[in-house]
Every structure is written in structure tokens, then in C-alpha cells.
Amino acid sequence: MSAVQEAGSRDWPGIFCARCVIEALPPRRFFSQLGSVNPMPPFDRTGFRCGLRYKVRGMTASAFFLAILGWSTLVLAFSPALTLGARIFLLPAWVIGLPLVYLYLGHRRSGWAALAAGTIVVNVVHYSLSPAGEHDWSADQEHMPRAVFADGSVRLENFRSARYRSTSDYEVWWGARSFKLDQLERLDFVHEILPPLGLIAHTFLSFGFADGRQVVISAEIRKKEGDRFSPLRGLFRNYELMYVVGEENDLIGLRTDMRGNPVYLYPARADPEQIRELFLHMLERANRLAESPEFYNTLTRNCTTSIVRHINEIAETPLRLDWRIVFPGYVDRLAWDLELLEIEGNPAETRERYRIHSRSAFVDESPRDWSRRIRERERYR
């Protein structure tokens, strides 16, 4: 037995580790070349940039594909252009078939062509829809209001007045009212917070005349029989837009008494001339909608954006896009920041002061008395 074998038999762990170290060492010629050869190749910046650019393009293409697929899937799921049977057939084919075709064809032009063709067909069919204006409308939105102007006055046709026993049980009267424009002197902003999170709200305006009468103008979806509002469906041309013009005890009373939602009535900071100009703009818009219907859109053409659009038409400094317009549950805070509404104390105190509580105790009073009562803030804080 050799000396190494004898040593290994006596102390094999130490010998084993030493042999590992020796065998792991580079050959002798490696050390002889250390001074003449750089062991690290130079950094290839061009190659690195090309590789990074390729990865970024791939990620961008994948994100774009997923966005197009997701949006077009929602269009197929919610577009009124398709029947229920068509949705049941087309949705699985779209969600499963298009990704398979894209993955099979890869990033070649044919893959993008297939994606583009499918997307174009889906969106062209959907966005080629036009509002019909003729449906089996809900009884409380059966008629579109119209305004007739003459000699400093306005006659409002299809002026709504309703009495509610519940949100689904009510009586509606459609009539005509005449108002002198030079008697228009007050403006109130109505803010209804919708559950559950309070991010979404319905907003509208109430115009007050010297004789105590009020005219409410509210931009809403025009519901068909059996319709219920869905913010998601509102993105995909499922509803038409209408301006409801009516009494306060109708449009506000529905929300305070029947729905039980928090409703706030804020006095606006505006002079009579500004109020009249805003009133005329909104009535002219109502006339245009009666002649040429438009689709409602949850984000771009809703109750709050309609008010903002009218304000921008008459304001010297237009309102800029703000997250509180997108989430109108907080739009009253935006109006306070811009000094468009009266504020008393901090925002929480102002909300509490201008909140309208349930008015069922005097729901049968005349519209003028009802409007007067809801403004008795000291009594109904």
C-alpha cells in the first residue's frame, strides 16, 4: 500500500478534500497565460441593448394582445348587438380560438393579421350600433322633454311629476310648465351617494325661480321595461341618454324616501346670469337628444360629465379632468376646491349640514311646499 493509501486509511476525509482541491485547480498553462489573456470578454453594449429591446417589444406585444382580447371579450359579453344564443356560441370560440390561432402563428405577420381581423370585426359590429330612440320604455322615462323658447320665457313639455309608493310602484304625470327666464335666481347641486362603497354617485341640478317653483334637470339612462342600471353594461351601448326634467318632490323624493340613499342639496355659487345661461344650455341639449338620441357611457357620457360639459361651455376657465369626476362620490369635494358650492366648516360638517333626510312625513304636500321644507336646514339637520 502506498503512503497516500495508508494516509487515506488513517485519515481519509482530509486526504479526500485535499485531492478535490488539487483536481479543481486549473491546468498549469492557465496560470502562464493569466498575464496575457483577459479572462472576461468586453461588455457588448450593442448586443445588450438589442436583447433588452427585443424583450421589451415582446412584453409590449403580449400586453397589447391581452388588452385587445380582454376588451373584445367584454364587447362580446355585453354588446346589445348580440342575442343570448350568439353570445353562448361566440364567447368560447373567441376566448379559446383566438389565442390558439395567435400562438400557432406566433409573432409573424399572419398572427397579427388574425388578431387584427378578429378584433376589427367584433368592434365594427358593436360600434356600428346607433341609438334607435324607439323602444318599450319604462313608464317613468317614456317621454323625452322638450323646451320651447319665446319672448323671454320657456315652455317645458313632457315635464315629469311622479308619486311613489315604492321604487317599482308609482304614478307618473306628464304635463307642460311655463317659466319666465328673468325670474330664475337660484341653483342647487344635488348629490346622491350610491352604495356600497360611495365611489359612485348620481348628480343633477335644481333651478329655482322667484315664485318658489323648482325645475330639476337630471341626465340619466333611458330605461327599457325591465332594465336595471349596470355600470359595466353602461360601457357597451346598452342604454340611451336622456335628460329628465321634472319636480323636486319627484326626482329628489324618489332618492330620499324610496331608495333611502344619502342625498345632499348644496347651494351653488353663481349669479343669476350664469344660472340662466346654464339652464338654457341644458335645455338646448335636451332638445337635441329628443331629435337625435345618443348612447349613455358610464365613463364619458354620464350625469356628472354632462354637468361638467355644460359648465365648460359657459366658464372662462374650463374644468380639467380630475379623478373625482371619474368617481363622482367625491365630486362635491372637487366643487368645494373650485369654490363652485357653498361650504360651511370642513367637508364632513358641510355634508352633514346639507344632507336631506327622509321627507315621507310631508310627501303629499305641494311641490313648492316640499321644496321649501327640504331647505329648512335648521329643522332637518
Question: CA-CA distances (angstroms) from residue 298 to 144, 193, 198, 231, 361?
Answer: 20, 16, 16, 6, 35
Between these two residues, 353 and 381, which has the higher pLDDT value? 353
State the burial class of residue 45 (Cβ atoms within 10 Å of its Cβ: 0-12, 13-18, 19+): exposed
Local structure of 204: helix, strand or coil: strand
Local structure of 217: helix, strand or coil: strand
Query: Phi and psi dihedrals of 170, rounded to 5?
Result: -155, 165
Strands (E) located in 81-181:
146-150, 153-164, 170-180
Q: Residue 165's pLDDT is what?
A: 87
pLDDT band at 362 (very low <50, low <70, confident <90, very high): low
Least confident of 99-108, 218-227, 323-332, 342-351: 99-108
Nearest alpha-carbon partner for 330 in 198, 241, 227? 198
Q: Please determine, for residue 76, whether its predicted confidence score (pLDDT) is greater than 70.
A: yes
Local structure of 168: helix, strand or coil: coil
Asked if 261 and 194 touch (Cβ cutoff 8 Å), the reply is yes
d(CA 299, CA 163): 31
CA dihedral (264, 270, 272, 274) positive or negative: negative
User: Cell numbers of 18, please?
Assistant: 485535499
Average pLDDT for the chain: 82
Q: Summarize pLDDT for 179-192 with one digit per residue, the tens.
A: 999 999 999 999 99
Nearest alpha-carbon partner for 187 in 314, 45, 47, 327? 314
Asked if 189 and 266 touch (Cβ cutoff 8 Å), the reply is yes
Q: What is the pTM of this model?
A: 0.80
Q: Residue 123's pLDDT is what?
A: 85
Nearest alpha-carbon partner for 288 in 359, 219, 345? 219
d(CA 372, CA 365): 10
Mean pLDDT along residues 218-229: 92
What are the extents of the domains in the chain?
3-32, 52-127, 139-373
Q: Summarize pLDDT for 10-48 with one digit per residue, the tens.
A: 444 443 344 443 444 444 444 444 444 455 555 455 555
Asked if 163 and 139 touch (Cβ cutoff 8 Å), the reply is no
User: Cell numbers of 345, please?
Assistant: 366648516
Mean pLDDT along residues 254-280: 92
Q: Omega into 145 within 30° of 0, i.e. cis?
A: no
d(CA 346, CA 337): 12
How far is C-alpha 145 from the geometric centre of its chain's CA atoms?
A: 26
Residue 146: what residue type? R
